[in-house]
Chains A and B, each alone.
Chain A
Amino acid sequence: GAVVSQHPSRVICKSGTSVKIECRSLDFQATTMFWYRQFPKQSLMLMATSNEGSKATYEQGVEKDKFLINHASLTLSTLTVTSAHPEDSSFYICSAPSGRLYNEQFFGPGTRLTVL
């Protein structure tokens, strides 16, 4: 089946640094990818929609200058958390539409970000 990978799976960084998270579709092309954030025991919160070849679309309340998204190719989207602070510590998950019958989302394994 379709596979979406994320790298790194875990990252710990100091406050004020920037962290880049990669999301790759391994066996299919994705013109659109979605980035979510999930806090403990809460549901997925959509942050932004990554569009290949154009600017990302951000959800209300998400700072686009803080969460930089680049959809460099049909198989790669990156999320950069700039000047990270402890409140940015969360589980970040990307997904891509499968393009199959139900167009269900295939999710990456997630990235656990801890900002000290």
Chain B
Amino acid sequence: GQNIDQPTEMTATEGAIVQINCTYQTSGFNGLFWYQQHAGEAPTFLSYNVLDGLEEKGRFSSFLSRSKGYSYLLLKELQMKDSASYLCAVSVRGSTLGRLYFGRGTQLTVWP
């Protein structure tokens, strides 16, 4: 099976930087996604990593180390609207195309 682990909750203050970690143990790793989900809404796509390294996209960056089975999502210049759940999900070769395995999500609360 697939095992994806991320912290349940994190808090940070407005303007700060926060790093949300995700570790995974999968067979046939084929990429890692990060999604943002506000309460009562659908998840929205943030980033995708399949090769080692850092992908930067504005205030958000995502890092992947395949050898360590580790990823993180880095959020800079935090804003109140960044309070949400952040979901780490992996794609696995041999699964139905598009099928993702989700972690439990990290609830981030940004304080003023």
Bound: A42/B103 CA distance, A: 9
Q: Which of A72-80, A81-89, A101-109 contacts B (4 or more CB under 8 A)?
A: A101-109
A103, B100: Cα distance in complex, Å: 11
Query: Smallest CB–CB gap between B18 and chain A, Å?
Result: 19
**B98 close to A107 (CB less than 8 A):** no
Within 8 A of B (CB), among A27-52: 32, 34, 41-44, 46, 49
Given the interface pairs A43-B105, A104-B48, the reply to whether A34 lies near B98 with Cβ below 8 Å is yes
A110 touches B102 (CB 8 A): no
Interface size class of B (residues with CB under 8 A): 20 to 34
Residues of A within 8 A of B100 (CB): 34, 105
Given the interface pairs A43-B104, A102-B31, the reply to whether A109 lies near B42 with Cβ below 8 Å is: yes
Label chain A's interface by main secondary structure: strand
- Contact A105-B103, Cβ < 8 Å, known A43-B87, A44-B87, A97-B97: no
Query: Which residues of chain A are within 8 angstroms of B48 by Cβ–Cβ distance?
Result: 102, 104
Number of A-B residue pairs at CB separation under 8 A: 56
Cβ-defined partner of B99 (8 Å) among A42, A49, A93, A102: A49
Chain A residues closer than 8 Å to B44, beta-carbon distance? 107
Q: How far is it, in angstroms, between the C-alpha of A104 and the C-alpha of B46 when the chains are bound?
A: 10
B111 at the interface (CB under 8 A from A): no
Q: What chain B residues lie within 8 Å of A4 (beta carbons)? A: 42
With both beta carbons as reference points, the residue of chain B lying nearest to A57 in the complex is identified as B96
A110 near B97 (CB under 8 angstroms)? Answer: no
**Given A107-B42, A110-B41, A42 and B97 touching (CB < 8 A)?**
no
**Chain A nearest Cβ from B53, distance in angstroms:** 15
**Measured between alpha carbons, how far is A43 from B27 in the docked complex, in Å?**
21
B43 touches A44 (CB 8 A): yes
Alpha-carbon separation in the docked complex, A109 to B100 (Å): 18
A91 within 8 A of B: yes
| Besides the known contacts A46-B102, A57-B96, A107-B42, 14 further A-B residue pairs in the complex with CB atoms under 8 A apart | A34-B99, A34-B100, A43-B103, A44-B102, A49-B99, A93-B42, A93-B43, A105-B43, A107-B43, A107-B44, A108-B42, A109-B41, A109-B42, A110-B40
